[in-house]
Amino acid sequence: MKAAQLPTRPEGAAPVATSRPARRRTPVPTRFLPVIATFVLFVAMFGVGSVRYEGFASGQVVANLFIDNAFLIVLAVGMTFVILTGGIDLSVGSVVALSTMVAAAGLQAGWSAPLTILAVLAMGSGFGLLMGLVIHYFEIQPFIVTLAGLFLARGLCYVISVESIPIKDDTFRSIATGVIELPGGTVITPSVVIALVVVAVAAYVLHLTRFGRTVYAVGGSESSARLMGLATARAKVGVYVISGFCSALAGLLFSFYMLSGYSLHAVGMELDAIAAVVIGGTLLSGGVGLVVGSLLGVLVLGTIQTFISFEGTLSSWWTKIAIGTLLLIFIVMQRLFVGRKA
Amino acid sequence: MTQTQADDLRPTTAEPVVLMRGISIEFPGVKALQDVDLTLRPGEVHALMGENGAGKSTLIKALTGVYTPDAGTTTLNGVQVAFHGPAAAQSAGISTVYQEVNLCSNLSVAENILLGREPRRLGGIDGRAMRARSAEVLARMGLDVDPASILSSHPIAIQQLVAIARAVEIDSRVLILDEPTSSLDADEVAELFRVIRSLRDEGVAIVFVSHFLEQVFEISDRMTVLRNGRVVGEYATAELTRLELVSAMLGREMDLLEEIERAVAESAPSDATDTPLVRVTGLGRTGAIEPFDLTIRAGEVVGLAGLLGSGRTELARLLFAADRADAGHVEVDGRPLRLRGPRSAIAAGIAFCSEDRKGEGLVADLSIRDNLVLAMQAARGWARPIPRRTKDELVEKYIEALDIRPGNPDALIGNLSGGNQQKVLLARWLVTEPRLLILDEPTRGIDVGAKAQIQKLVADLAAGGMAVLYISAELEEVVRLSDRVVVLRDHRKIAELDGRDVSVSDVMALIASGDQADHRSGGTERKAS
């Protein structure tokens, strides 16, 4: 008989990393780099704006970034959860529109404001729950399921009404017109406060709860997370509930902003939200990203719009061109970043 | 959870911690395990031995709740248990560290150790306590790793040790290590063994699965040998010689294989003065394989031996033009051939069965019939569909000839066992009637019976005049089948031997020769039994 097996592989026969782990702590962990890059970009853009345009460098311009994009911030937060698990939620724009419709129609029908708000939030969460369950238990790609959600929600808007419905409720109007004065004469709206609270809560959930860490683990490797005995199903379905809830909340903020419900509100807004999340440094493959990054991503998008309005003569389509270019740059950056790790 | 508790577990008696009795598992058409017993004692390293397909991983999965046995009982500390998934087994104290590291590389080391059991404070995860706790576990294992660092910043070996650290933290009483050393170098193996020994001394029962015999003899106290889903026996490692182990693992299959060997020895290769079917001069590709010469005659089996990463597959891919060569040329029948890509290689009568069955071979969602005729259809061109009747005849013929099971042409190939998938792939190329068949690891991951059948088939094909280039990590196979053996090391052809007189140890000596082998033997103490 002959000897049976190969000897142990000699060193150098196959590339195996033998380097000892670095013991020094790098001053800035690499996972913060994309967010820092976004922040630097935001500051740089603002700097350029301040130099070019008179009145750009004012506290109110910054505050307006938040006021005009409060709903997008909330939307991007929900999207961040979904993308962190490696999923995607295309339905959010339509759910925003549906939320404005439900709110406007409900108020018109004589519902009280708190009841309307609760109904809208429950509707959004339930919608997300449904999509999450289908995605998880039927193992269907999130892209397809939420695409179906996109059409469904948009279609439901037209069932409620094809016309725009104005909102005349006093509570809604007072929130919409209410201002909060900050020291230095800058004013913000209640919506901004709501959006920032959402960001804070999201950061807490993602970093300091088991649910949040499971979201990251699922995005890193779903099968590993399952083998480690984590509640992957809860996390995977949960992120769509969160995204649905955030969409409904964003819809409410949007109805404060527009004071109407309309089927054509927020068309394509899901793409703005995804763009903001990606520009904020979250990997589309999941597992890496910070909710603060998404906030910065929204601010970058808002700054581009501010540029266009200050320029005055530029077509608003330049916004799209700028966003497209930025997205491309960030995705290539991510690829290089991931490639270097591997 | 700490040192003190683990010390309490130190074995005072040899009372088994896990007793599996009469475990049977049947998959469609396959009896994966039949009446298997396994006994794990605390403070002991128990090796699970057997060839690929012997049932080792099935048994592990039965223990960890991935599969539910059709028959048999499992008791843990005298209590009968039935787990409904790895999470349940884990919370009962049975942890598994798989060959591929099953952790989340995007998270920190500390999180990977404690995920799901994070210490909490004031309604949130206490990051500091988490890092302190994992630093404690890592220190106990003698590992110098920053718990806050991201897992992916560490080499695989460290990641594997982190996976073990996670199991240690759970306070596992049973730790299953499935091929833990396959991607480690000698120093890293020594490190792993040190950790295994210290865990063993703390009273953990360790199951060690590996196909490296030396390592098994070095680390294990006891072993259970499986063959074809049955237990051959349980042995104390010290009382078993390597030869006895190998014959226990191979069993009667050896007779069948020796028969092949005889058949090969009897078949005469065509005369050396013939024009060789393929003559390769100076073919090479930077970074893949250094320029080499090779001639293959009709009716000849040329074996390629070498370790993983020695350039075996790279050589085959160059010959099939799956990768473009940047030096050298190829002659077929004495006429120069420009290999522009796989299409031109196929046109010249060269066929290539990739080692990556799933990625580069099968179309899992198609039926046996469709997979089988793929290459033939490609050769005919898309404009000339193959008539259904021809297809059916072909498929029927090959299902019978190669004993493909199930014999239903409409069965999806993704549902077949590895061995049968391999047979379909072989049949796919055989229908194109190639003159040179390149087989890259045709027997990897398939059961022993199918292995022997495939080798028999190769021998028969060569006897029928086909030239075969046979690549395998299993040296016995290469030596058994080949008329000539080409030995590769570090992307270089280092020798060509006459397969008739050569033995496995000759080839091993060649592979291990040179300064690298010296370096290795100096790098770690590795004693044979």
Tens digit of each residue's pLDDT (9 = 90 or more) over A117-167: 999 999 999 999 999 999 999 999 999 999 999 999 999 999 999 999 999
- Sequence letter at residue B300: E
Compute the 3-state secondary structure of chain B and give helix, strand, coil in percent, each to the nearest 5: 40, 25, 35
Look at B308 and A14 and tell me if their CB atoms are within 8 Å: yes
What are the structure tokens assigned to B245, written together?
A: 């182990």
The band of A237, judged by pLDDT with boundaries at 50, 70 and 90, is very high
Look at A230 and B115 and tell me if their CB atoms are within 8 Å: yes
| Predicted local distance difference test score (pLDDT) of residue A146 | 96
Give me the tens of pLDDT residue by residue for chain B, a chain 529 residues long.
Answer: 444 444 444 444 568 899 999 999 887 666 788 899 999 999 999 999 887 667 888 899 899 888 889 999 999 988 898 888 777 888 888 888 877 778 888 899 999 999 888 888 877 888 889 999 999 989 888 888 899 988 888 888 888 889 888 888 887 889 999 888 777 777 888 888 988 998 899 889 999 988 777 888 899 999 999 887 889 889 999 888 877 777 777 665 556 666 666 666 666 554 555 678 888 888 888 878 888 899 898 888 999 887 767 788 888 888 888 888 888 888 888 888 887 888 888 888 888 888 777 777 777 778 888 888 887 777 777 777 888 888 888 888 888 877 777 778 888 887 777 778 888 888 888 888 889 999 988 887 676 667 778 888 888 888 888 899 999 877 878 888 888 899 888 888 888 888 777 887 788 778 776 534 333 333 333 333 3
- Nearest-Cα distance to chain B for A224, in Å, is 5
Same domain, B178 and B88: yes
Instruction: Provide the domain count of chain B.
Output: 3
Residues of B in contact with A207 (CB under 8 A): 125
| Predicted local distance difference test score (pLDDT) of residue A70 | 95
Contact assessment for residue B76 and residue A182, using Cβ atoms and an 8 Å cutoff: no
Same domain, B280 and B313: yes
Same domain, B514 and B441: yes
Look at B144 and A20 and tell me if their CB atoms are within 8 Å: yes
- Nearest-Cα distance to chain A for B352, in Å, is 23
Residues of B in contact with A210 (CB under 8 A): 116, 118, 125
**CATH code at position B514:** 3.40.50.300
Give me the residue from A14, A216, A230 closest to B116, CB to CB.
Answer: A230
Residues of B in contact with A229 (CB under 8 A): 86-87, 90-91, 116
Q: What angle do CA B474, B434, B357 make, to 5 degrees?
A: 45
| Predicted local distance difference test score (pLDDT) of residue A27 | 52
The helix-helix angle for A190-208 and A210-220 (nearest 10°) equals 70
Same domain, B292 and B421: no
Residue B54 lies in a domain: yes
Look at A6 and B473 and tell me if their CB atoms are within 8 Å: yes
Given B433, B466, B492, the domain boundary residue is B433
The band of A7, judged by pLDDT with boundaries at 50, 70 and 90, is very low
Highest mean pLDDT of the ranges A198-207, A322-331, B238-247, B478-487: A198-207
Task: Give the mean pLDDT of A298-321.
Answer: 85
Tell me the C-alpha distance between B305 and B493, whole Å: 10
Residue B337 lies in a domain: yes
Residue B475 lies in a domain: yes
Same domain, B316 and B443: yes
| Predicted local distance difference test score (pLDDT) of residue A228 | 81
Residues of A in contact with B246 (CB under 8 A): 1, 3-4
Same domain, B378 and B467: no
Instruction: Provide Rg for chain A, Cα atoms.
Output: 23
Residue B203 lies in a domain: no
Given B376, B410, B433, the domain boundary residue is B433
Same domain, B219 and B277: no
Give me the residue from A8, A30, A220 closest to B104, CB to CB.
Answer: A220
- Nearest-Cα distance to chain B for A207, in Å, is 8
| Predicted local distance difference test score (pLDDT) of residue B85 | 78
HSE of B89 in the Cβ direction (CA atoms, 13 Å)? Answer: 28
Same domain, B500 and B479: yes
Tell me the C-alpha distance between A98 and A263, whole Å: 7
The band of A239, judged by pLDDT with boundaries at 50, 70 and 90, is very high
Tell me the C-alpha distance between B189 and B309, whole Å: 19
Contact assessment for residue B504 and residue A2, using Cβ atoms and an 8 Å cutoff: yes
- Sequence letter at residue A211: F
Nearest chain B residue to A205 by CA: give it: B124
| Predicted local distance difference test score (pLDDT) of residue B14 | 64
The pLDDT mean for chain A works out to 87
Given B394, B413, B433, the domain boundary residue is B433
Give yes or no for a cis peptide into B406 (omega within 30° of 0). yes
Same domain, B403 and B467: no
| Predicted local distance difference test score (pLDDT) of residue B453 | 80
Give me the residue from B118, B243, B512 closest to A7, CB to CB.
Answer: B512
Domain ranges for chain A: 61-341
Helix (H) or strand (E) holding A306: helix A291-311
Same domain, B178 and B89: yes
Tell me the C-alpha distance between B123 and B152, whole Å: 29
Residue carrying structure tokens 């309309």: A262
Give me the residue from A10, A23, A219 closest to B106, CB to CB.
Answer: A219
| Predicted local distance difference test score (pLDDT) of residue A9 | 38
Contact assessment for residue B436 and residue B247, using Cβ atoms and an 8 Å cutoff: no
What are the structure tokens assigned to B508, written together?
A: 């091993």
What are the structure tokens assigned to B30, written together?
A: 């396959």
What class, spelled out in words, does domain A61-341 have in CATH?
mainly alpha
Same domain, B180 and B289: no
Count contacts between A and B (CB, < 8 Å). Answer: 177
Task: Give the mean pLDDT of A28-53.
Answer: 84
Residue B132 lies in a domain: no
Same domain, B342 and B275: yes
Domain that holds residue B478: 255-349+434-518
| Predicted local distance difference test score (pLDDT) of residue A271 | 93
Tell me the C-alpha distance between B209 and B51, whole Å: 11
